[in-house]
Every structure is written in C-alpha cells, then in structure tokens.
Amino acid sequence: MHFLSLPRPANTPSFGTKPVTSTPAIVDTTTLAAHDFDVDPRTGFMPPQPPLERLFSECIRYEVWEEVLDEAMKGGLKLADGDMEEEERNNNELWRKRVREMEILRINGLVQSEIMLRRAHHVLAWILHFYVHTTPTFDSAIHIPPSLTLPLLQVGRELQLPPVLTYSDDVLYNWAYDGDKGTDDDKDTSNDKGTSNDKDTINPNNLRILTSFTSTASESHFYLTSARIEIIGVRALKVMQLMMDELFVGDAIAVKRIARWLDALGGILGEMQAELNNMYSGCDPRVFYEEIRPWFNGVDVDRPWIFQGISLDPTLTIPTELSGPSAGQSSLIHALDLFLGLSTFSHSLHGTNSFLSRMQLYMPRHHRNFLIHLQRLQIPIHDHTTQHKTRYALHLLTAYNSCITSLKHFRDAHFVLVARYIIGPAARERGLKGAKGGEEEGEGEERLKGTGGTYLAQFLKNVRDSTKDAVIQIRGGGGGGGGGVGFPES
C-alpha cells in the first residue's frame, strides 16, 4: 500500500515544537520511488484524488470549523484596512467573536490520516487569515484566540508546516472537479516524445476552487492558473526522469536522447509560460491588488501576531515562520532549478538562495523530502553538458541552452505579470499617498515586499539573472554565462 494510506507513526518529527526525549519514528522516504514522496506520476505535486472537501464526513465534531469557514466566505467579511460602514464592522466582529467562542478541540481524531490533517490545516489557516485581516487596524497587536491557536499549531506540528496559509492550501489542496467529468480517463494522448498526458490525469479545464476570500471570478482564476501550471509540469517531471535514466547509461546514444528530452522540456516550459500569460484573461489586476492580495499577507512587524493559549500544550513553541503563500513555495519550480543546475548560480546572489530554502519550509514535508533527495543526487546535467566531447556535444549544448532560455522566458513573463498586478498598482498607490503628503522618503519599487516577505522586484530580478547566467557560452563565442566549452571538429 502507498505509505500515505498507512497509519501515521507516533512521535513524527515536529515543526516548531520542543524536542521529545523518545526516539521519533521517522518515515524515511529518501530511498523510495518518487511516488513515495507524494509525487504522483499522473498528477505530479497535485494529489491524484480530489482533496477532502469537508472534515465532518469523517469526524462530526470538526464540523464547527467548517461552519465557521463557511460563514466567513458567505458573510461578506471586509478587510480591516479598507473603508467600511458600521454595519460591516459589526459583521466582522460578530464573526470574530464566533471564532473566539469556539470550543478548543483536540486533534486526536485527525492524526492517523494525512488527508484529514491537510484539510484541517487548510480550514484553520483560512480562518486564521480571515481573523487576522478583519482585526481593526487600531489594535496594536493581533491576538489569536486559543480556540484557533491550539488546533492550528498542533496540526502544523503533525504536518511539519507553519501555522499560516501556504501555496499548498491555496492551490494544491484547494480544488474539486466541476461536474461529473474530472479526469482525462477516456483517452490516452501518449506520444513518442515523452510529453504525454497519461490516462487518469487531472483535466485542468474542469476544476473549481473550494475556498476563497472574495468569491470573485478573479480569485478563482488566480488559483486555477497556478494549478494548471502544476498539471502541465507533470510532463516536465516525466522528462526529467527519462533524462536521469539516460545519464545513468551515459553513452553516445544516451547523449542524443538527453538532447531530445531537453528540447521537450523547453517546449513544456513554453506551455507553462502560455498558461501563466492566461492569467490576464480572467484575473483583474485592480481586483487582485485591492481586494484579494491583502488577505494573503503574513505577519506584519508593526502588528505582531500573538498566539494565545500556547502554554496549554507544553510541546508547542511560539511560531516564527509566518510568511504568506507565495509562488516561491511551488515544489515544481524548485525541482526544475535543482535538475538543471540553477541552484548553483543562485548561491552567488545575496539572499536569493536563502529565501528559496526558507520557502521549502512551507511545502508539504514529503515534497520537501523529494527536493532534498533531488539535491543530494547532484544531477550533473549542467556539468555533463559542458564536459561531453562527442559529435553530439554541440546538439546537447544547444538543447540545454534552449531549455534554460525557455525557463528565463517563463521568469520574464512572471516578472511582467508581477509588475502589472503588484508593482504598478503599488506605485500608483504611493503616488496618491504622496499627493496627500503621506509618502515617506525612500519608499519605492525596491522596498515593496511580496507575501513571502522578500523585496519583490529585486528578488525576481535576481532569480531571472541567475537563470540567464546558467546559459553555457561556447569558448571563443564571447559573453559571460556559466563558463565556456569547446567542441571537437566532428
């Protein structure tokens, strides 16, 4: 049986908890196949089955959490930093009062099921963000009540996740089939290029979102665009596996095949870019910046989050990782960087690699283990490209550089999207504040932070530059990049 279907072992290593004296029972996935890292060959980092939609179907006592989340989504809660009528403020407070008065529930009915724990983290983290961002702005700190603190931190302990919304809560585990037809199980579109959709893959055009802050079409489209990119990325993972098999063989025919797979990977990256550009068709930039994005924000240094009731569970500690969900938490993008050798170049960029490493703490722990395993393998695709000396060497180099260029184009598109949806609106907002005398000297694009907590523009430029630097220059061809390489005449 798949390890996720087995009972969870006791005393698993805990995220943000005090050490335990007993020896923890650890599920060691470092030597298992990719599937046992919860990476499915048909759906990649997305779950092969739709995520659990309600906890009460498994355990009725947790229905209160589901009801509170339902009320938040249907009750028209408003961001506290926006203009509100008195009735809207009262509505916010009535809902927050309901959260404070919830019974503190033990999570013992959840710990044997990874799937139920995921749903619990999803529900509680969404409640947390609704609660935090409806707290009146005149409050100097945001006090999280014990009814939310204890179960959220305890679930996070089991899953080794921080008690905050993550990319997996917003994208990976935030979907269901829209209607009866959810998969592509009636066809097999396989081909001889290794870029097929296998049977039973998720149909990316037939999904709906489970949870939303605004219930707007723009918000649904925002999450679904990321989900569709993840689904396209399944074929990238398959091609990476095929290249690893050929690297193991290492003969001239293998080199030729690796070049072909690199070409295929570049094409898949092009499809991911096209899907990213599809964001514009359904997500309004103004709605995103003003109505959706503020709900994602993690802890604000000016208004700390105080988790009340931690002392009631001596195994818990005060959480320190409280950034909001970020595209930097996508395991797919990290896997591509590791496979193509880009992590080597990001080490030279101040702060970039440390931020991406920190974002791995917000990933499902099995996906995090997959990336650790991938890193330990030290896949030599970049070095193999520079060192190979056969008549296929130039073809290999060209295919590698083309693949890197496709990844750079994807990141260029991401930068343009961020400029349109965040940097541009923020600049206009600063201009309005400046006209009213409210802009501080030194504020600008370089100081704008993303929901992950890093300075957004500079970080994206650094990542894009590190990708460009991975391009290998032919010796004597000029330019910088990742070093020069010469080739034999034949």
Q: What digits encode the pLDDT tens for the residues 48-61?
A: 999 999 997 557 88
Of the ranges 108-117, 126-135, 404-413, 445-454, which one carries the lowest mean pLDDT score? 445-454
Binding site for heme b: residue ranges?
A: 414
C-alpha 235/C-alpha 272 separation (Å) is 11
What confidence score (pLDDT) does residue 13 get? 42
DSSP single-letter state for residue 34? G
> Which residues fall within 8 angstroms of residue 68, CB to CB, at 6 or more apart?
95, 98, 99, 102, 127
Domain boundaries, the chain: 185-304+327-475
- The per-residue pLDDT for range 472-489, each reduced to its tens digit, is 776 544 444 554 544 333
Which residue from 296, 287, 407 is spatially nearest to 346, judged by alpha carbons?
407
Of the ranges 19-23, 214-218, 436-440, which one carries the lowest mean pLDDT score? 19-23
Q: Average pLDDT of 314-334?
A: 93
Question: Confidence class of residue 353 from pLDDT cuts 50, 70 and 90?
Answer: low
Of the ranges 151-160, 176-185, 331-340, which one carries the lowest mean pLDDT score? 176-185
DSSP single-letter state for residue 206? S
What confidence score (pLDDT) does residue 351 get? 46
Question: Confidence class of residue 410 from pLDDT cuts 50, 70 and 90?
Answer: very high
Place of tokens 């993303």: 450
Q: Which residues pair with 17 in a beta bridge?
A: 316
Of the ranges 76-80, 167-171, 338-342, 390-394, which one carries the lowest mean pLDDT score? 390-394
What confidence score (pLDDT) does residue 173 get? 97
What confidence score (pLDDT) does residue 343 get? 67
What confidence score (pLDDT) does residue 348 get? 41
Of the ranges 35-44, 328-337, 393-402, 470-479, which one carries the lowest mean pLDDT score? 470-479
Question: Confidence class of residue 375 from pLDDT cuts 50, 70 and 90?
Answer: confident
Question: Confidence class of residue 68 from pLDDT cuts 50, 70 and 90?
Answer: very high
Binding site: residue ranges?
A: 414
**Secondary structure (H, E, C), 370-400:** HHHHHHHHCCCHHHHHHHCCCCCHHHHHHHH
What confidence score (pLDDT) does residue 73 get? 96
Of the ranges 130-139, 217-226, 400-409, 439-448, which one carries the lowest mean pLDDT score? 439-448
Which residue from 364, 302, 295, 344 is spatially nearest to 129, judged by alpha carbons?
295
What confidence score (pLDDT) does residue 180 get? 57
What confidence score (pLDDT) does residue 26 get? 41
What confidence score (pLDDT) does residue 145 get? 98
What confidence score (pLDDT) does residue 451 get? 60
Question: Confidence class of residue 401 from pLDDT cuts 50, 70 and 90?
Answer: very high
Neighbours of 344 (CB within 10 A): 17
> Which residues fall within 8 angstroms of residue 441, CB to CB, at 6 or more apart?
none
DSSP single-letter state for residue 105? -
C-alpha 200/C-alpha 214 separation (Å) is 32
What confidence score (pLDDT) does residue 11 get? 42
What confidence score (pLDDT) does residue 476 get? 46
Question: Confidence class of residue 449 from pLDDT cuts 50, 70 and 90?
Answer: low
448 φψ region: left (φ > 0), alpha (ψ -120 to 50), beta (else):
beta
What confidence score (pLDDT) does residue 143 get? 96
Residue of 184 and 11 predicted with greater confidence: 184
What confidence score (pLDDT) does residue 12 get? 42
What confidence score (pLDDT) does residue 34 get? 55
What confidence score (pLDDT) does residue 186 get? 44
Q: Average pLDDT of 394-404?
A: 91
C-alpha 114/C-alpha 110 separation (Å) is 8
Question: Confidence class of residue 296 from pLDDT cuts 50, 70 and 90?
Answer: very high
Q: If you write DSSP's letter for every residue of 93-108 in order, what string do you get?
A: HHHHHHHHTS-----T
Q: Average pLDDT of 20-37?
A: 46
Question: Confidence class of residue 182 from pLDDT cuts 50, 70 and 90?
Answer: low
Say if CB 406 and CB 266 are below 8 A apart.
yes
Q: Average pLDDT of 302-330?
A: 93
Of the ranges 114-118, 398-402, 466-470, which one carries the lowest mean pLDDT score? 466-470
Q: Which fold has domain 185-304+327-475?
A: Methane Monooxygenase Hydroxylase; Chain G, domain 1 (1.20.58)
Of the ranges 169-178, 192-201, 236-245, 306-315, which one carries the lowest mean pLDDT score? 192-201
